[in-house]
Chains A and B, each alone.
Chain A
Amino acid sequence: MSKGFGRKNGTKRNGPIISASTLKNTFDRRSVIIGTVQGGVGVLLAARMGYLAIAENEKYRLESESNRVNLSLIPPRRGWILDRNDAPLASNRADFRVDVIPGRLNDADATVDQIGALLNLNPARIADLKTTIAASSGYQPVEVASGLNYEEFAALSVRLPDMQGVVPQRGFSRFYPTGCSVGHLIGYVGPANAEEYDEEERNPLLVTPGYKIGKDGLEKQFEQELRGVPGARRVEVTASGRIVRDLETREDIQGDPVRLTIDGPLQDYAARRIGLESGSVVVMDCESGDILCMASMPSFDPNSFSDGIGSVEYAMLREDQRVPLRNKVLKGLYPPGSTVKPMHCMAFLKAGISPDETIACAGGRRIGNRFFNCWSNHGTVDMAKAIYQSCDSYFYHFAQQIGFDAVADMARTTGMGEEFPLPVISQFYGTVPTPDWKLNKFGRDWEPFDTVNASIGQGYYLASPLQLAVTSARLATGKHVMPRLTMNTPPKGFDQVDFPDDHVAYVRQAMSDVVNGPGTAGRGRLPFPDIQMAGKTGTAQVVSLSVSDGRSGPWKYRDHGLFTFFAPVDKPRYAGAVVIEHGGGSGAAYPIARDVMTFMFDPAKGLEALRALEQQWGGTAQERLEARYAAYAAERGETVIAPPRRDEDIFDRVEAEARLAAEQSQEIADEFVAPRADPTSAGSPPPDAGIPAADTGANE
């Protein structure tokens, strides 16, 4: 250390006399230097210590405090999501849970195995956990299990000293009483991922074990309202995290509830009524625009998504061709088919066509120099008959007469192609085809057959079930009804009258005749003497006639079944739409509308009808989902593909596929789409619960 010091004191190289006394001299001088160096080091140390203890005292005292005192956040209880009658659609349940903090685990795999053995976790879950933990970033907690009983919790707690990084605690977990019925609507919650953590400027709440944020649907949309204010607990802790004593506790403040316009029981009923089909039901209140029900089935169980999307579960949902991960109300786009006919009549009326004007349907009609088929031969057809018998020729003729631009204007007025101001993550708004649109998109001119196709809701036409329901509500009331989803948004559009009363009355009567008269949905009558439902059937082709007749053959080639409706006929209170994907025709859709409306007016009667059906189907939707999962896990558990690491990836993929699926039906629009026998119920058996055709009989 002191080697370089005191060069000038060095003995002279050529100094002639080196004696004991010169050496003693050297010793003395050098020892003084050494003493000085030592003293210097002593002063340096004292100065350094003074600097640390005085100048930096403040800083280090704070750091010492932040070492000693651990501020643990108490996750706030999440606000409830309520239906219109304040019944919970999403609530909280007290439970025991256990998380691990990957960054603190000594041996992640061994710890997970140990916990797995203690809690009897199944091997698939343990494998998932190991993957998740290996891929996770340090201090983001990973949920191992929740809903533990007290014995399991206690068994884990006593072993804590040997298990660093394992955090068992009492807390609250999200609970969705109606399970899969509200999956798409409400979404689900889950632990924040690294991106979300960064987005919120590393809010420590997001990495608090047991804390979850909304991941999809309304849970995500209303995240800030639902979140609440975290409580805090100040404890003195040792370096290894052992709590020495409590210092102070502040309670959390529960998040605000969100009140939806949804009618919980109706939503559940509609979801269950869809049964084995793949489809959606939307019901709106005509007097307020309240969305009473937006069921999309099959769905996932948000309760089980909340503890992470398991790979088996994901694989099962993913392989299901009925796409349980797609919210079909908002992201299912279908050619609306004949359901647009009442609306097109409104366009004709507006253009001055008299409803009494007739045309002759000769099993079709010549438009320009080409003959286009109707699904049947209707003889002389006026506007009312065109609606209740769904005569295509009539629409070919008058759409051609007034020009499709006029019809498209009407379509947009009634909500087609419209994006509604709703608190949803995303909604597809479909297509109302016009000559300009076609030129723009495909660079081709609008042909007469395009008018023909579009006049009966085929071709490039695409609409979501929500749009169909809004259209129905606007036709029924004549007003520009705007849908709303939460009770605190004011009703809108009721001061804007879209249609004159006489037009409304005429179309209403014609739609009533569809169900109650000589129309195409005779079996859709409500079982009440005094309440009648009006509606319009629709059958939408997805592939050309050469591929499939739309009723049999591969499920994915079958026609979509659609039905728009409102009730009661004389003073419309409820309006809605039912779309059954590949249901084989409108016959798959309107019985569901009938039962849903029956439930609306008389729940007991509605449930009676449903019970009989569910006995046939093998339980409620939730029960079937669970049974399917159990069977699937037993059969395929070992060989499933892992889900994407981020939930967002899952939903991005689902959305991309939804767009592709929507475009599929547009592919046949290059040609005239020969209409199907719309009124008939296809009578085709429901799809085999979505098991891909390849592995038949694996499941019920």
Chain B
Amino acid sequence: MSSVVPAPIARQPWGMLIPLLLLVAFGAAVLYSAAGGSMQPFATSHLIRFSVFLVMAAIIASLPREFVRLMTYPAYIVVLLMLVAVEAMGALRGGSQRWLDLGFMVLQPSELMKPVIVVTLAQFYSTLPVGLITSWRALLVPAALIALPVAFVLLQPDLGTSLAIAFGGAVVMLLAGLPMRWFVIGGVGAVVAAPLAFFFGLKEYQQQRVLTMFDPEADALGAGYHITQSKIAIGSGGLFGKGFNNGSQSHLNYLPEPHTDFVFATMAEEWGLAGGLFVIAVFSIILRWGLKVARESRDRFASLLAAGMVATIFFYIAVNLLMVMGMAPVVGIPLPFMSHGGSSMLTNMICIGALMMVNRWNRNAPRGGLAS
């Protein structure tokens, strides 16, 4: 390596960071267009937030392993209490609420829960005696750890986030080495429970959204409107799009939420398939890097932690993109690093920070070192 670049900088995972920076910049450009050709109100705050959270990620990256392990359960309890507080506030004000106003900032605790559940389960499995991995204890305790926050989030009600929490947790459980048959049974159970949940668990607007996914045109001005308009935006973009700032779907307000949930459609309309492949490629790079970090770690805690973070980011990306392309119901899940919005940026940057942290641990205790 060239010695021109100082070592602390050269050490950073630039293979992931540079694509990420490009993606965020691209996201800012799309938000600029979504605001009708203006940095305000989306692009500027998007960049500022990213900068702030990048610093936060760097701080997370520098945390020592023991400190993280020490703080894991307290963090879980704090976030869980915050979820309870949100519920309590909502009940007091007579309405559903997802935000906690801390005075200096508004916080969505359910977002924090996504990385926290991953760390918590990683901590649990790494401390679980190896031989007990096939015991009921290895299943029930984590299941309870997941079920508690999921229940509170469902009460909000926020189906998308509760699914994200459950998904992150489940991936950690899978990777921890639980017997596969449990997952098979769980999978079958989910298939059976899905219709029941659909008819009894979902609110009517949520049911509508699921039904709409299968036939968006049936109700082109109602629930299917979002999906239809999103597909029109993506499809009309063609190979190279209509050109920067020339998207009619977003500029003339046909596309709902062109700056948050449907930012990918906004982008695809103006940049076409080329832009879409670029975004998917960047996400692939980030996720591959994340999985590589997880696999390179000799430390059970760290590898579970890293893989869980990757799964959390992946869940955002997959559900959002499937949704905007008409293959998943409309759930309010934004696209990481591109959508305008503080909470998702916070969560995703915590994940990135955590991955960089594991990456740093790996470097300090390189492959081939002693397993914990």
Contacts and interface: CB of A to CB of B under 8 A. Distances in A.
Interface of A: 1-4, 6-7, 9-11, 13, 18-24, 26-28, 30-31, 34-35, 38-39, 41-42, 45-46, 48-50, 52-54, 56-57, 59-61, 63-65, 67-68, 236-240, 244
20 contacts: A6-B180, A18-B131, A18-B134, A23-B176, A26-B177, A35-B291, A38-B291, A45-B280, A46-B277, A49-B280, A50-B273, A54-B273, A57-B236, A60-B236, A61-B238, A64-B233, A68-B249, A237-B252, A238-B253, A239-B252
A160 B322 CA distance: 38
A601 B95 CA distance: 84
Contact of B253 (A22, A26, A41, A240): A240
Interface stretch (B6-14, B98-106, B151-159, B166-174): B166-174
B177 A239 contact: no
Contact of B321 (A4, A27, A45, A56): A45
Interface stretch (B66-74, B181-189, B340-348): B181-189
A295 B283 CA distance: 82
A42 B287 CA distance: 11
Among B171, B235, B249, the one with the most A-chain Cβ atoms within 10 Å of its Cβ is: B235
Nearest to B236: A64
Nearest to A56: B235
Contacts, number: 173
Contacts of B187: 3-4
Contact of A20 (B130, B170, B186): B130
A65 B183 CA distance: 48
B180 A7 contact: yes
A34 B291 contact: yes
Contacts of B180: 6-7, 9-11
Contacts of A54: 238-239, 273
Nearest to B173: A3
A45 B304 CA distance: 26
A415 to B, nearest CB: 58
B30 interface: no
A64 B248 contact: yes
B268 A49 contact: yes
A23 B183 contact: no
Interface of B: 130-131, 133-134, 167, 170-171, 174-177, 179-181, 183-184, 186-187, 190, 229, 231-239, 248-249, 252-254, 268-269, 272-273, 276-277, 280, 283-284, 287-288, 291, 294-295, 300, 303-304, 307, 310-311, 314, 318, 321-322, 325, 327, 371
B253 A24 contact: no
B235 A59 contact: yes
A35 B234 CA distance: 27
A4 B183 contact: yes
Given A45-B322, A53-B234, A3 B181 contact: no
A419 to B, nearest CB: 49
Given A4-B187, A38-B318, A49-B268, 18 more contacts: A3-B174, A3-B187, A19-B130, A23-B300, A24-B300, A27-B303, A27-B307, A28-B295, A46-B277, A46-B280, A53-B268, A53-B272, A56-B235, A64-B236, A67-B232, A67-B248, A67-B254, A238-B252
A49 B273 contact: yes
A691 B190 CA distance: 77
A2 B236 contact: no
Given A34-B171, A45-B325, A27 B235 contact: no
4 closest Cβ contacts across the A-B interface? A10-B180, A60-B235, A64-B236, A4-B187
Contacts of A7: 180, 184
Contacts of A63: 232, 235-236
B235 A53 contact: yes
A2 B284 contact: no
A614 B118 CA distance: 96
Contacts of A240: 253
B248 A68 contact: yes
A61 B174 contact: no
Nearest to B269: A64
Contact of A57 (B186, B238, B371): B238
A54 B174 CA distance: 38
B249 A67 contact: yes
B252 A244 contact: yes
Contacts of B371: 20-21, 24
A27 B236 CA distance: 43
Contact of A3 (B183, B229, B287): B183
A52 B325 contact: yes
B284 A42 contact: yes
Given A59-B235, A67-B232, A67-B254, A13 B268 contact: no
A240 B221 CA distance: 12
A2 B174 CA distance: 9
Contacts of B181: 10, 13
A26 B172 CA distance: 12
Given A3-B170, A18-B131, A53-B235, A31 B184 contact: no
A68 B283 contact: no
Contacts of A64: 232-233, 235-236, 248-249, 254, 269
Contacts of B321: 45
A11 to B, nearest CB: 6
